[in-house]
Amino acid sequence: MTCRWRFVLLLACMALLPGHAHATEIVMTLTTTVTVTRQSVDVRLVITNNGDQNALVVIPYLAFAGVETGLEAEPYIEYGGERTWFHSFPLSDLRVPEAGTYPLVVRLQYHDAYMYPYSMVSVSSVRIGNNLPVKVPVSGKMAAGRVSGEGTLDLRVRNTGISPFEARLTMVSPDGLVVTGDTGILNIPAGVEKQISYIIKNNGSLPGSNHNVYALVEYSSDGQHDVLVLEDSVAVGSDVSGKKRSVIIASTGFIVLLFFLVLFIELRKGAGAA
């Protein structure tokens, strides 16, 4: 009975240790190639596992010009291996009211050996129709801070032209991060820089990981559509809050105290028997 109690208490102490155990990691790389024809937009997606453990249940998702689709799931990609997907968007299905450049968003979901979910995103610019330049000049900058449970992201968009313009702002982030703040329509006067601040919350990303976050600024001029793609990397720190840390310490202390109490009782019993 004594050995059994000690074993159970030892397991309880181990279960209270915080964190997600990882001796290895998965590092996925996305390579997107797009070909535009008169009938379709053809996407070739190559996903490479550059880590040192297998990626399980790998599922890519594509979003382009109002159409979203999930591609066939791959049971696993071994470390050092790669897989290729193909998908065609018929032009008749796309919301492309005018020629120009549109964003293609690739979202990837995969899992490690413990079936812990991971996510990453990538954005490419795809040109449809003629190559006439858009006359409305716009520039921008995005700066994301470190996220430890919660962080900030600052976005600046400047109209460097001589006329006001209207744009549509969209934020794109992986499933492991949630970005909250103003999106939608931006109205920026000529020569004015608009600054927007966002809150980034950790939604399951592991400490030590890095994730790309994107801001898409889409606008039109003289029958031409264009998109400004802004990107920055978010570093995820420890998400153990002070309250959660206190609970862990208190719980661990209680288990340790219980362990020594049981040990003391067993020693007293042994001394009495002697």
**Would you list the domain boundaries of the chain?**
2-17+241-273, 23-131, 134-239
pLDDT value, residue 257: 61
Report the pLDDT averaged over residues 205-211.
89
CATH 2.60.40.10 fits 23-131, yes or no: yes
| Weakest-pLDDT range from 17-21, 25-29, 175-179 | 17-21
Max Cα distance, the chain (Å): 98
Which pLDDT band holds residue 201 (cuts at 50, 70, 90)? very high
The β-bridge relationship of strands 82-90 and 193-202 is unpaired
pLDDT in tens, 159-180: 988 888 899 999 999 999 999 9
pTM (two decimals): 0.77
134-239 shares the fold of 23-131: yes
* pLDDT tens figures, 61-73: 999 999 999 999 9
**Fold of domain 134-239:** Immunoglobulin-like (2.60.40)
